[in-house]
Structure 1
Amino acid sequence: MHSRSLSAVAAVLALVTLGAASPAFAHSGGVAAGGFVTGFLHPILGWDHVIAMVAVGLWGAFLGKPAIWLLPVTFPLVMALGGMLGAVGVPLPGIETGIAASGLVIGLAVLFAARPPLPVAAVIVAVFAIFHGHAHGTEMPGAVSPLAFAGGFVIGTGLLHLCGIGFGMLTRSRVGTFAVRGAGGVIAALGAGFLTGAL
C-alpha cells in the first residue's frame, strides 16, 4: 500500500509538473470548431481547468460522503448554467481570475484539510463552476454542434473529477492522506501561478 501511494503521488506530481512547464488555457479562442470531441478536450487541454476539476474531486473524496458525490455533481451542473450564460453573451467580469482562483482556493482547502459545512463547500464549488462554464460557453456558439460541444465539456469535466476522487481515495491510509494533501498544495501553487498571470 505504501509503495502504491508513493507511485500515485509521483504520477500526479509528474502530470502537474508537465502542465506547469507549459501552461495552457483551455479558453484561448478558436478551439470550438468541432463538436463533442472538441468539447471533451476543451477542459482537458487547459491546465487551469484541469487542476480545478481534479481539486474538486480530491476535496470531495477528502470530505467523504455525501461530499464525495455532491461536489463533483454540483460543479458540472452549475458549470452548464455558466456555459449557457457565456453562449448567449451575458458578460461576466474576471473570468480568468475566477478560473485561476478556483485552483488556488480549492487546492488550499485540500492542503489544509478544510472541513466546512457541506452547503458552504458546495457554494464555493458552484461559484467557481460559473467561471469555468462561462469560459466554455463563450466558444460554444462557434462549434459545428453546440449541443455536442456542451455534452463533451461536461463529460470531460466529470472524468477529471473522477481522477481527483480516485486519487483522493488514498486518504484511507495515513501516507495516502499526506499524499492527497500534498497534491492539494501543488494544485494551490499552480493556481497561484495562473492567478498571477491573470491579474
Structure 2
Amino acid sequence: MKSALKSGLLALAAVALPAVASAHPAIGEAAGFSHGFAHPISGLDHILAMVMVGVFAFQLGGRATWLVPTSFVLVMALGGALGIAGINVPFVETGIALSVVVLGAIVALHVKAPLAAALGIIGLFAVFHGHAHGAEMPENAAAAGYAGFMVASALLHVAGLALGYLIGRAGERQGLFVTRTAGGIATIAGVGILTGLI
C-alpha cells in the first residue's frame, strides 16, 4: 500500500518536472513534429490541465475513462484549427488558467459529474488550450507541429490516467487523500497562473 502511494507521488512529480519554462514560451527555431511535441510539456498550465483531465476521467470510470481524454484531444484539435486559421477566440489565456483551477478543484473534490456535463466542461477548456498552441505554431510547420502537440497532450492524459490508477491501488482512504492533494496543488497553481504569480 505504501509503495503504491509512493509510486503515485513519484508519477505526479515526474509529470510536473518538465514544467520549468513559462506557460507559453515564444517560438524558437525548432519546427515540425518535435517542436509541437515539446511545446505542451514546456508549460505548467498545460501539463497540469492534461494530467487533471486524465485523473478526472479515471475518477469517473466506465466509458468516461476513454471518452473524456479522447474528446479533449479532438476538441483541442478544433481549437487549434481556429488558432492556425487566425480566428480570434477571446480570453484564451484566462480560459487556460481557469481550466487548471476548475479541473484541479473537480479532482480535489472528487466530483462525480454526469458524462455529458464532464464532456461539456473539458470541451470548453480544450478549445482554449488548442487555440493557444495552434496560434503559436509556425506557419511552415503547422500540420506536423500540431500533430506533435496532440500526441504529447494525449500522453499527458495517459499519465493522468496512470496516476489515477496508481492512486487507486493505494486503497480508498490513502488514494482519496493523494487525489485530493494533487487536485488541490493543481488548483493553487492555477490560481497562481491566473493571477500572474506563476
TM-score of the aligned structures, taking structure 2 as reference length: 0.90
Q: Distance in 2 between matches of 1:8 and 1:74?
A: 25
Aligned to 1:75: 72
Aligned to 1:51: 48
Q: Distance in 2 between matches of 1:178 and 1:112?
A: 10
Q: Which amino acid counterpart does residue 90 of structure 1 have in structure 2?
A: I
> Structure 1 regions of 5+ residues with no counterpart?
none
TM-score of the aligned structures, taking structure 1 as reference length: 0.90
Aligned to 2:164: 168
Q: Distance in 2 between matches of 1:32 and 1:112?
A: 42
Question: Size of the alignment, in residue pairs?
Answer: 194
What is the percentage of aligned positions where both structures have the same residue?
43
Deviation at 1:144, TM superposition (A): 3.5
The root-mean-square deviation of aligned C-alpha atoms, in Å, is 1.9
Q: Distance in 1 between matches of 2:11 and 2:152?
A: 20
Aligned to 2:60: 63
1:89-148 deviations in Å (ceiling 9; x for gaps): 1111111100000010010000001111110011100000000000011022x2542211
C-alpha spacing 1:151/1:11, structure 2 compared with 1 (3 Å)? closer
Note if 1:104 corresponds to 2:101.
yes
> Is the contact made by 2:52 and 2:183 (CA closer than 8 Å) also made in structure 1?
yes
Q: Distance in 2 between matches of 1:41 and 1:16?
A: 14
Q: Distance in 1 between matches of 2:95 and 2:38?
A: 21
The runs of at least 4 aligned residues of structure 1 exceeding 3 Å deviation read 13-19
1:157-189 deviations in Å (ceiling 9; x for gaps): 000000000001122522122212211111111
> Is the contact made by 1:32 and 1:143 (CA closer than 8 Å) also made in structure 2?
no
Q: Which amino acid counterpart does residue 184 of structure 1 have in structure 2?
A: G
C-alpha spacing 1:78/1:110, structure 2 compared with 1 (3 Å)? same
Deviation at 1:16, TM superposition (A): 4.1
Deviation at 1:33, TM superposition (A): 4.1
